[in-house]
Chains A and B, each alone.
Chain A
Amino acid sequence: KNEVEQSPQNLTAQEGEFITINCSYSVGISALHWLQQHPGGGIVSLFMLSSGKKKHGRLIATINIQEKHSSLHITASHPRDSAVYICAATWGGSEKLVFGKGMKLTVNP
């Protein structure tokens, strides 16, 4: 069964801290997505990757295919980073994403 697991499910940090959010998945993915869900409910796509590392501003996403693991790092965290971060993956030729349950991040000033 294709599955995506995220840990931890909740995380509280202080402003300025370096944050790591983890995601593990079943073998054989084609692509891994990181998404952000704002407190108001809207969902935006942050990254899509199948190997290596991608960076956008203070966000860095990495993936280790052999270890079936991806991480989302936030440098110099800020209260506006408070959101739910969702990991999702697709397998083989499927156009369907399987989603993790998400990790709720709270960054305190």
Chain B
Amino acid sequence: NAGVTQTPKFRILKIGQSMTLQCTQDMNHNYMYWYRQDPGMGLKLIYYSVGAGITDKGEVPNGYNVSRSTTEDFPLRLELAAPSQTSVYFCASSYRVLSNQPQHFGDGTRLSIL
């Protein structure tokens, strides 16, 4: 059982480039999330989705876009990379936060914008 899989694990981008961070889960979870983690800061929610075709902004959505065409996949797109987007990105999934079920996290993508 793979759980939540993120690719790539590491990436270096130049300012202005674009890329897509991939996230897929095989647990049939409806809820999926993208977070960023900056040094010394708590995880911040970028976007989330409560099911296929439904997405919503989190706390720090600027500069990012998401889509959810299937239950399994929730890619995060950076259109015009900026140095402020240098961070570690985590994808997570769950049945529901309020239920007695945990969030499952991917291993993270370490992204540097130079």
List residues of A whose CB falls within 8 A of some B CB: 4, 30-31, 33, 35, 41-45, 48, 86, 88, 90, 93-102
Give the dominant DSSP class at A's interface.
Answer: strand
Query: Once bound together, how far apart are the Cα atoms of A102 and B58, in whole Å?
Result: 20
Among residues of B, the one whose C-beta sits closest to the C-beta of A44 is B105
**Interface footprint category on B:** 20 to 34
Is A31 a contact of B108 with CB atoms below 8 Å?
Answer: no
Is A97 a contact of B107 with CB atoms below 8 Å?
Answer: no
B74 at the interface (CB under 8 A from A): no
Number of A-B contacts (CB under 8 A): 58
Q: Given that A95-B96, A99-B43 are contacting pairs, would A48 and B102 also be in contact in the complex, using a CB cutoff of 8 Å? A: yes
Is A41 a contact of B40 with CB atoms below 8 Å?
Answer: no
Is B103 a contact of A97 with CB atoms below 8 Å?
Answer: yes
Is B31 a contact of A95 with CB atoms below 8 Å?
Answer: yes
Query: In the complex, given contacts A45-B103, A95-B50, what are 12 additional A-B residue pairs having Cβ atoms less than 8 angstroms apart?
Result: A31-B97, A42-B105, A43-B105, A45-B102, A48-B101, A48-B102, A86-B42, A88-B43, A90-B97, A93-B98, A95-B98, A97-B43
